[in-house]
Chains A and B, each alone.
Chain A
Amino acid sequence: MTHHTHLTRFATLCQAAGGTVPEPIAHAIELVNAAYACETRPTGFLDLTVDEVPAMVTDLAVRSHDSNFDTPEMGKDGLNLGVKAFAQALNDEVRIAALPYLDQLVVDLRPRFDPIAATITEAATTYGFTYRTNSDDVVELDNDDAVDAWRSLRPALAELMPIAQLRISMSTLFSVGPLLEDMQRFTAPFERVRGVNYSVAFAAGDNWATDDAYYLEPVNRGADSARSIDWLELSLRGLRLNTPSEVQAKIADRYAEHLRQPATTVSEA
């Protein structure tokens, strides 16, 4: 008897021959199977209670100490390895668990977003205000309503920023559209995508872009600020706070359209 697999084989032979597997052997097989089951990494971290966390961290720390002694963090960090493993595993789980809530979160924010959007849209469509309009121009208009609209524009934009920033961080944290990959789909091969244009998350209709349009500055990787968006230009054809699912649908629709367009041939270019 050298290996536990021989036990399993012996048990199978016993059954095939019509004999009864001796009790110690059956029990040993059970035990060894239970031992090997310990190797599987635990899951379901999000279901844990706070009291269960320390035991899990110890467990994960032990698992993280493998035979690879060259790793610099090996041995000296103790339970910290388990803490890191726990946090990482939890991050992955929380992302998947939170996804269904994101759409609802956006829908719940709409009652706050819509009146702000209406103020901005009115200023842009009725009076033609842009980000390059200055207060002198408004005074020159000699129209009290225009002055009021201009005045209410600033608090409206200030109130809009936290909502817009939240919607943008949904995309950056939980990898829901619009993403850099979505932008890449509309650019020519080998053309570099510099960043995500978030206009699609706030466009009522087809007024969104994957290049630098609807932005005050060129779109940049890592620059995910709602302040860079040209809200007045975007509002000319309607503002709407779009859920991740709606954004995905918009991108898919335009991509289907994009594929239908004939490719530019060398002779045309």
Chain B
Amino acid sequence: MTGATRRRELSSFLLGQQRYRVKANAVIVPRMGGGEVYLYRHNLLPADASPAIVEMLLRSGAIYEIEETR
């Protein structure tokens, strides 16, 4: 635990590796564990990116799916 005020992040091991890369200039992605992350082009989405937003960004072409890496 890093501090009393900060909650621990959701395990990226359980949620699976990042499978999406940013194609748009920048996207704002809410995280399931709370908060949001600003990502520029070519960055990978965090594993705990909110599924509904991921789906929306995927539909609009702002992100694309990549091969899962381990």
Q: Does A220 belong to the interface (CB within 8 Å)?
A: yes
Contacts of A9 in B (CB 8 A): none
A interface footprint on B36-48 (CB within 8 Å = 1, 0 otherwise): 0000000000001
Question: Are B13 and A225 neighbours in the complex by a CB distance under 8 Å?
Answer: no
Partner of B14, one of A131, A220, A223, A225: A131
**Which chain B residues numbered 1 to 48 have a C-beta less than 8 Å away from chain A?**
7-11, 13-16, 30-34, 48
Question: Are A220 and B52 neighbours in the complex by a CB distance under 8 Å?
Answer: yes
Given contacts A131-B11, A216-B10, contact A154 B16 (CB under 8 A): yes
**Which chain A residues numbered 116 to 137 have a C-beta less than 8 Å away from chain B?**
131-135
Question: Are A225 and B33 neighbours in the complex by a CB distance under 8 Å?
Answer: no
Nearest residue (CB) in B for A223 is B52
Question: Are A132 and B52 neighbours in the complex by a CB distance under 8 Å?
Answer: no
Chain A, interface residues (CB within 8 Å), range: 10 to 19
Contacts of A150 in B (CB 8 A): 13
Partner of A132, one of B9, B16, B30, B55: B9
A217 CA / B9 CA spacing, docked (Å): 12
Contacts of A133 in B (CB 8 A): 11
Q: Does A105 belong to the interface (CB within 8 Å)?
A: no
Question: Are A227 and B51 neighbours in the complex by a CB distance under 8 Å?
Answer: yes
Nearest residue (CB) in B for A215 is B32
Contacts of B50 in A (CB 8 A): 217, 223, 228
Question: Are A158 and B16 neighbours in the complex by a CB distance under 8 Å?
Answer: yes
Partner of B32, one of A135, A158, A217, A222: A217
In the complex, 18 of the A-B residue pairs with CB atoms within 8 angstroms, ordered by the A residue number, are A131-B15, A132-B7, A132-B10, A134-B11, A135-B13, A150-B13, A154-B14, A154-B16, A157-B14, A158-B16, A216-B10, A216-B33, A217-B50, A223-B50, A224-B52, A225-B55, A227-B32, A227-B51
* A-B interface, 5 closest residue pairs, ranked by CB to CB distance from nearest: A223-B52, A225-B51, A217-B32, A216-B32, A132-B8
